[in-house]
Amino acid sequence: MSGPKPSLKPVRKFFLSISLTILMSASLQAGQAGHLYQNPYAGGPRSGASVLSLVTSLAKRPELLDAAYLRRMLGAEDRSFAQNGAAIKHYSLYVEPGTSYDFAENTIMARTASGGDAGPALHRQLTCHMSNSGLTHAQVRQMLGRPERRYFDNGAHPVEVYRLSPYASISVTEPANSFNVSAIEINYIGAALSKPTAADLALADQYRLDKAKNLLAAGVTNTAVALLAQHLEDKPNDFNGHLIYASILRRLGDVNGSLEHYRLALDLSRGAADFAAQDRAIKGLAQFGVVKTVGEPLNDNLGANSRLAGNQRFSAAQRVY
């Protein structure tokens, strides 16, 4: 089922920026009074463990090194640029503070693992840069075992390489005497890869939605709003996403935007016969006075409670102005 795609019109984007500024100002005032919710991202987080977990999972399943999948896991790219004939996507706005990612995909000439003449091969590379990983080479070896090889890069920094699948490897860089891993890189060189499955993308969509909810609970509203907007661009028929987005816009004072997404959620949830979502959408619309809620039933002989609830829900849905 196709549905209308959400859009942030220029006026709404301007309105959102003003609302977010006011909201952050109010949060700052509350913080000065000692009531500011503590942001779990504050205080120099150590991101190495979570990054290593992500890259090892991707190295074991290199087909997930895909732009559509990474957009869901890392958020939309900040910018793209060309380097050595490859388009590189850069991600930093929606990942852990102090980290950034670069993703490149191109075709190179390479030998196969079994030897033979060089031929065209697919090369995908994902690099994570970290300012405070909290990891050392010794700790990585404890988790991944003995590296396949070691070498020094152009900056004379030691690099250890681990092979997690026949055609994918992980390179871990720890600048000399820093005791802090600064970069972890995945390289895949091999045959063309299949696309991520629908189940893979669904899990990534849910991860992004949960991340937006957690950021919202932590008070990082602007990032949560941006992730929800990206989520709805990729999944315009997700009525639960529309309900969350409508609730945020209502709290920010964007009446028109909130009404638009409550109406979208109502239409989509009716098509999916999701009565709980319909109730949430109707209650959201009722807060603006654009829907008349149903009172006590007029007929006591309408049948089972579920049927009665369904009739009330349908009647309320028809009364949206």
Mean pLDDT of 203-210: 92
37-41, 186-190, 270-274: segment of lowest average pLDDT: 37-41
Is pLDDT at 214 greater than 60 in this prediction? yes
Residue 297 binned pLDDT confidence (cut-offs 50, 70, 90): very low
Tell me the pLDDT of the chain averaged across its residues.
79
Report DSSP letters for 223-240, one per residue: HHHHHHHHHHHH-TT-HH
Q: What angle do CA 79, 81, 87 make, to 5 degrees?
A: 110
Residue 320 binned pLDDT confidence (cut-offs 50, 70, 90): very low
Beta carbons within 10 angstroms of residue 314's beta carbon: 13
pLDDT in the model for residue 121: 87
- The residue ranges of every structural domain in the chain are 10-35+219-318, 48-195
Mean pLDDT of 4-9: 51
Instruction: Output 146 or 319, whichever has higher pLDDT.
Output: 146
Report DSSP letters for 280-291, one per residue: HHHHHHHTTT-S
CATH number (3.40.50.1820, 1.25.40.10, 3.20.19.10, 3.30.420.140) of 10-35+219-318 reads 1.25.40.10
pLDDT in the model for residue 25: 40
Report DSSP letters for 156-219, one per residue: S-EEEEEEEETTEEEEEE--TTT-S--EEEEEEEES--PPPPHHHHHHHHHHHHHHHHHHHHTT
- Please, what is the end-to-end C-alpha distance for the chain in angstroms? 24
pLDDT tens, residue by residue, 59-77: 999 999 999 999 999 999 9
Residue 23 DSSP SS3? helix
